[in-house]
C-alpha cells in the first residue's frame, strides 16, 4: 500500500522544480517553460486530491521531516502537517495555480509577452512557497514560507519592470507587507521564548501548552511577571501584524490595489489562492491559540468588519476593472477576518474556499476582457461585450453573483454564515456587534459595485472602437473560466447550514463535518475543540435559532438585492453616465482611497529622523565595530610587512639575530651562565 502522505513533500517540490526548469532552461523550451509549470501544478493537484482522499479515509499526518538546527532549549525543524484544513487548502491552491498556468498561455504567450521564462519561474516559485506554507507544521517554517510568498509577489508584480508603475508597486507591496511581517517575526520569537516550541499540532504544541497554562497547569515563560493571558494577547497581536499585512487589512491594505500593476493571472493567483489567503489561513491554522484570547479575537473581528465596509466604499468609484476587483478582495478578506474573530472558524474557511474560486474566476474573466480590449482596463471604454464574448460574460456573471452574495451562488452561503456567526456571538459583545453591523452595511455596497462593474463592462452600447470589435480569446482562456464558473455556482452547496437548520435536515453541512474531524484529523485541531475554547456564547433574536437564521439570511440577501437593483437602475442602460460624480467631494475622497497613501507617505517623511538615526546606528555602531576589528588587522599587517625589504643581507641578519636569541633563551633556561 503506497501512502499518500509520503508524497506530501512532492506536492511542494513539483512546482519548485518547474521554477528551476523555467529558470534554467526556459529559453530553450517551447512556450517559455509553460508546460513544465502546467505539468507540475497538475501533478500537485492530483497528489493533493489523493492526500485529501486519504484524510477523508480517516487519517492525518504530523511529521517532522528535517531538523536544521537543534539547541538545548528547542529545535528548529521542517515538517508537514496534514489535517482537514491543510488538505482542503492544498486542493484549492493547486487547482487555482493550475488554472492560472493554463490561463497564462492565453494571457502571456498568445499576447507575445517577452521574458516568459522569468514569468513561469515566478509562478512556480510562488505556488511552491504557498504550498510549503500550507503544509508547514510549525510557526517558524510558516514564517519562512510566508516571506518567500512575499518575495515572489514582489518579483511578479514587478514583472513589467521597464515601465515606471510596476517596479514601484512591487516595492510598495514588499515594504508594506514587510512592515507587518516585522511584528510577525517578533511574535515568532516570542512564541519560542514562551513555549520553547512552535509546533501547531500535537501534545507539546504551543496552542496546547497555552491552553494548559491558562488552565493553571504547566509552566510558561512570561516577560517581567506579566499575566499569562495578557502576554498571550500580546503574542497573538504580534503575529496578527503579519496577517494584517499579507491579508491586506486596514491599515496595511494600501499595497494591494497597486499590486494590480502585475499581470492579471498573477493578480488572480495573489488574490485567490496564495499571498492574501496566507494571512487568513495562518489565523485559521493557529486558531487554537487565538481562541484563548478574547481580546485578540475582538480586535480581529473589528478590523475585519471595518475593512470589509471601508474597502467596499472605495470600490464604488473606481474606473478600472481590476481596481474594483482589488477593493472587493480587501473587503472579502475583511469578512473572513470578521468570521475568525467572531469564533466562526468554519465560516471563515468556507468563505476562503468560495472566495478563492469566485475571485480567481473574476480576475481571469477580467483578464479575458483585458485581452479583448487590447489591455485597456478603463470600464468607461467598454460596454456591450456581452454579445461578443458569451463564455466570459456568463462565467463572469456567475462570479459576480457569488461575490455579491446572491442566492444560491457560492458567495451567498459563505457570506451568510460569516454574518450569522458574527450576529449570534455578537449580541453580547459590543465590539463584535460593531463588526457585524459594518459587515452587513458592506453587503449592499458590494452588490452595487460588483454590478456596476458588470453592467459597465458587458451591457449597454460599446463605448469605444475596441469594444465594438474585441479581440477573440482562445480555449486556454475559456477553459479555466468554465471550470471556475461551475465551481462558483456549486461550491456553496458543500455547506448549506441555513437549509439544515431551517428544514431540520441532518448532515448536509459537509464542510462543518470535514473540519470537525468527522472523517479524520488531529485531536485539538477540530472546529468543535475551537468552539469549546472560544469565549463566546450564542444569543438569538426572535426566540430561537431558526428565526435568527431566517432573519439574518433575509436581511443580507435583501440588502444585496437592493444594491444590485440600484446598480441595475443606474448602469444597465444603453449609455450610462458617471453617477458617482454626483457625490462630489465624497467621490474625490473615495477615489483617492481616503488619502491613506498620502497619509502613509506623510508619516514616512515625519519619521525620516527615526530612520536616519537607525541608519546612523547601523552604519556607525554595528558596522563600525566590524570595520574597527578589520582595520586593526589591516593596520598591523601594513606595519609588519615592512620587514620584507627584499635585501637579502637583512634577512640573513634577522636569521642570525633569531639564532642568537634562541641560544640565549636556551642558555638561560639551561643554566649555562650560572
Backbone angles phi, psi at 564, to 5 degrees: -60, -45
Least distance in angstroms from the C-beta of 174 to other proteins: 48
C-alpha cell at 647: 635585501
Least distance in angstroms from the C-beta of 659 to other proteins: 10
What is the per-residue binding string for other proteins in 541-560, x denoting contact by CB under 8 A?
--------------------
Nearer to other proteins (CB atom), residue 217 or residue 638: 638
Backbone angles phi, psi at 495, to 5 degrees: -150, 65
Residues 651-670 within binding reach of other proteins (CB under 8 A): 652-653, 656
Nearer to other proteins (CB atom), residue 6 or residue 654: 654
Kindly report the three-state secondary structure assignment for every residue of 534-600. CCCCCCCCCCCHHHHHHHHHHHHHHHHHHHHHHHHHHHCCCCCCCHHHHHCHHHHHHHCHHHHHHHH
Structure-derived torsion over alpha carbons of residues 602, 253, 449, 426, reported in degrees to the nearest 10 = -120
Structure-derived torsion over alpha carbons of residues 52, 119, 367, 567, reported in degrees to the nearest 10 = 80
Nearer to other proteins (CB atom), residue 465 or residue 648: 648
Kindly state the number of chain residues that form the binding site for other proteins, as judged by CB under 8 A.
Answer: 11
Nearer to other proteins (CB atom), residue 585 or residue 637: 637
Nearer to other proteins (CB atom), residue 215 or residue 648: 648
Distance of CA 180 to the CA centre of its chain: 12
Residues 629-648 within binding reach of other proteins (CB under 8 A): 641-642, 644-648
Least distance in angstroms from the C-beta of 66 to other proteins: 50
Coil vs helix vs strand at 477: helix
Nearer to other proteins (CB atom), residue 621 or residue 647: 647
> Is residue 217 a contact point for other proteins (CB under 8 A)?
no
Structure-derived torsion over alpha carbons of residues 118, 123, 128, 129, reported in degrees to the nearest 10 = 90
Q: Which of 214, 210, 211 is nearest to 195 (CA)?
A: 210
Nearer to other proteins (CB atom), residue 621 or residue 648: 648
Least distance in angstroms from the C-beta of 669 to other proteins: 21
Nearer to other proteins (CB atom), residue 622 or residue 657: 657
- Dihedral sign computed on CA atoms, order 137, 197, 524, 357: negative
Least distance in angstroms from the C-beta of 656 to other proteins: 6
Least distance in angstroms from the C-beta of 670 to other proteins: 17
Q: Among 180-188, 376-384, 625-633, 649-657, which window interacts with other proteins (CB under 8 A)?
A: 649-657
Least distance in angstroms from the C-beta of 178 to other proteins: 48
Residues 276-335 within binding reach of other proteins (CB under 8 A): none
* Neighbour-count burial for 350-383, b at 16+ CB within 10 Å, e otherwise: bbbbbbbbbbbbbbbbbbbbbbbbeebbebebbb
Least distance in angstroms from the C-beta of 665 to other proteins: 19
Coil vs helix vs strand at 71: coil
Q: Phi/psi class of residue 62: alpha, beta or left (left: φ > 0; alpha: ψ in -120 to 50)?
A: beta
User: How many CA within 13 A on the CB side of residue 511?
Assistant: 24
Nearer to other proteins (CB atom), residue 541 or residue 657: 657
Least distance in angstroms from the C-beta of 646 to other proteins: 3
The DSSP-derived string for 422-474 is HHHHHTT-HHHHHHHHHHHHHHHHHHHHHHHHHHHHHSSS--SHHHHSPPP--
Residues engaged in binding other proteins (CB under 8 A): 641-642, 644-649, 652-653, 656
Amino acid at each position: 500500500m503506497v501512502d499518500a502522505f509520503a508524497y506530501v513533500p512532492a506536492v511542494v517540490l513539483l512546482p519548485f522544480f518547474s521554477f528551476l526548469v523555467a529558470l534554467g532552461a526556459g529559453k530553450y523550451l517551447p512556450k517559455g517553460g509553460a508546460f513544465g509549470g502546467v505539468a507540475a501544478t497538475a501533478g500537485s493537484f492530483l497528489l493533493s486530491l489523493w492526500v485529501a482522499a486519504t484524510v477523508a479515509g480517516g487519517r492525518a499526518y504530523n511529521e517532522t521531516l528535517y531538523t536544521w538546527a537543534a539547541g538545548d532549549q528547542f529545535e528548529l525543524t521542517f515538517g508537514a502537517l496534514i489535517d482537514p484544513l491543510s488538505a482542503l487548502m492544498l486542493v484549492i491552491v493547486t487547482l487555482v495555480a493550475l488554472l492560472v498556468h493554463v490561463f497564462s498561455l492565453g494571457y502571456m504567450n498568445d499576447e507575445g509577452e517577452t521574458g516568459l521564462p522569468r514569468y513561469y519561474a515566478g509562478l512556480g516559485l510562488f505556488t511552491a512557497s504557498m504550498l510549503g506554507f500550507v503544509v508547514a507544521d510549525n510557526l517558524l517554517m510558516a514564517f519562512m514560507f510566508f516571506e518567500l510568498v512575499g518575495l515572489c509577489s514582489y518579483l511578479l508584480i514587478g514583472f513589467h519592470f521597464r515601465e515606471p508603475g510596476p517596479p514601484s508597486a512591487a516595492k510598495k507591496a514588499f515594504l508594506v507587507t514587510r512592515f507587518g511581517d516585522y511584528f510577525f517575526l517578533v511574535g515568532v520569537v516570542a512564541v519560542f521564548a514562551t513555549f520553547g516550541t512552535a509546533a501547531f499540532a500535537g501534545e507539546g504544541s504551543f496552542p496546547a501548552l497555552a491552553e494548559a497554562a491558562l488552565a493553571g497547569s504547566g509552566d510558561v515563560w512570561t516577560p517581567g511577571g506579566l499575566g499569562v493571558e495578557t502576554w498571550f494577547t500580546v503574542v497573538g497581536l504580534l503575529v496578527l501584524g503579519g496577517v494584517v499585512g499579507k491579508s491586506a487589512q486596514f491599515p496595511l491594505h494600501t499595497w494591494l490595489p497597486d499590486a494590480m500593476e502585475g499581470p492579471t493571472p498573477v493578480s488572480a493567483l495573489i488574490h485567490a489562492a496564495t499571498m492574501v489567503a496566507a494571512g487568513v489561513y495562518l489565523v485559521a491554522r493557529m486558531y487554537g491559540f487565538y481562541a484563548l484570547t478574547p481580546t485578540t479575537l475582538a480586535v480581529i473581528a473589528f478590523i475585519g468588519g471595518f475593512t470589509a465596509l471601508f474597502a467596499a466604499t472605495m470600490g464604488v468609484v473606481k474606473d478600472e476593472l481590476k481596481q474594483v476587483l482589488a477593493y472587493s478582495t480587501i473587503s472579502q478578506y475583511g469578512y473572513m477576518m470578521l468570521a475568525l474573530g467572531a469564533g466562526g472558524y468554519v465560516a471563515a474557511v468556507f468563505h476562503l474556499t468560495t472566495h478563492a474560486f469566485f475571485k480567481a474566476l473574476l480576475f481571469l474573466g477580467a483578464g479575458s476582457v483585458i485581452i479583448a480590449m487590447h489591455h485597456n482596463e478603463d470600464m468607461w471604454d467598454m460596454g456591450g461585450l456581452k454579445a461578443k464574448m458569451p463564455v466570459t460574460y456568463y462565467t463572469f456573471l456567475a462570479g459576480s453573483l457569488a461575490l455579491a452574495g446572491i442566492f444560491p451562488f457560492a458567495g451567498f452561503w459563505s457570506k451568510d454564515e460569516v454574518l450569522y456567526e458574527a450576529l449570534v456571538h455578537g449580541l453580547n459583545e459590543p465590539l463584535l456587534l460593531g463588526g457585524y453591523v459594518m459587515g452587513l452595511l458592506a453587503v449592499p455596497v458590494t452588490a452595487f459595485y460588483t454590478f456596476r462593474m458588470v453592467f459597465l463592462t458587458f451591457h449597454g452600447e460599446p463605448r469605444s472602437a475596441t469594444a465594438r470589435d474585441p479581440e477573440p480569446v482562445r480555449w486556454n482562456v475559456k477553459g479555466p473560466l468554465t471550470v471556475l464558473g461551475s465551481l462558483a455556482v456549486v461550491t456553496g452547496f458543500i455547506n448549506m447550514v441555513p437549509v439544515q437548520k431551517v428544514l431540520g435536515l441532518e448532515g448536509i453541512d459537509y464542510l462543518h463535518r470535514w473540519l470537525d474531524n468527522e472523517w479524520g484529523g488531529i485531536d485539538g485541531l477540530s472546529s468543535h475543540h475551537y468552539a469549546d475554547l472560544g469565549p463566546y456564547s450564542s444569543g438569538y433574536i426572535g426566540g430561537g435559532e431558526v428565526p435568527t437564521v431566517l432573519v439574518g439570511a433575509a436581511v443580507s440577501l435583501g440588502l444585496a438585492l437592493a444594491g444590485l437593483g440600484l446598480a441595475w437602475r443606474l448602469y444597465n442602460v444603453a449609455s450610462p453616465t458617471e453617477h458617482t460624480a454626483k457625490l462630489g467631494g465624497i467621490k474625490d475622497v473615495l477615489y483617492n482611497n481616503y488619502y491613506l497613501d498620502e497619509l502613509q507617505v506623510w508619516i514616512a517623511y515625519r519619521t525620516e529622523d527615526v530612520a536616519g538615526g537607525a541608519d546612523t546606528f547601523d552604519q556607525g555602531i554595528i558596522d563600525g565595530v566590524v570595520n574597527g576589528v578589520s582595520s586593526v588587522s589591516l593596520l598591523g599587517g601594513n606595519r609588519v610587512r615592512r620587514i620584507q625589504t627584499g635585501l637579502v643581507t637583512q634577512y640573513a641578519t634577522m636569521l642570525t639575530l633569531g639564532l642568537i636569541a634562541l641560544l640565549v633563551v636556551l642558555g638561560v633556561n639551561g643554566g649555562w651562565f650560572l
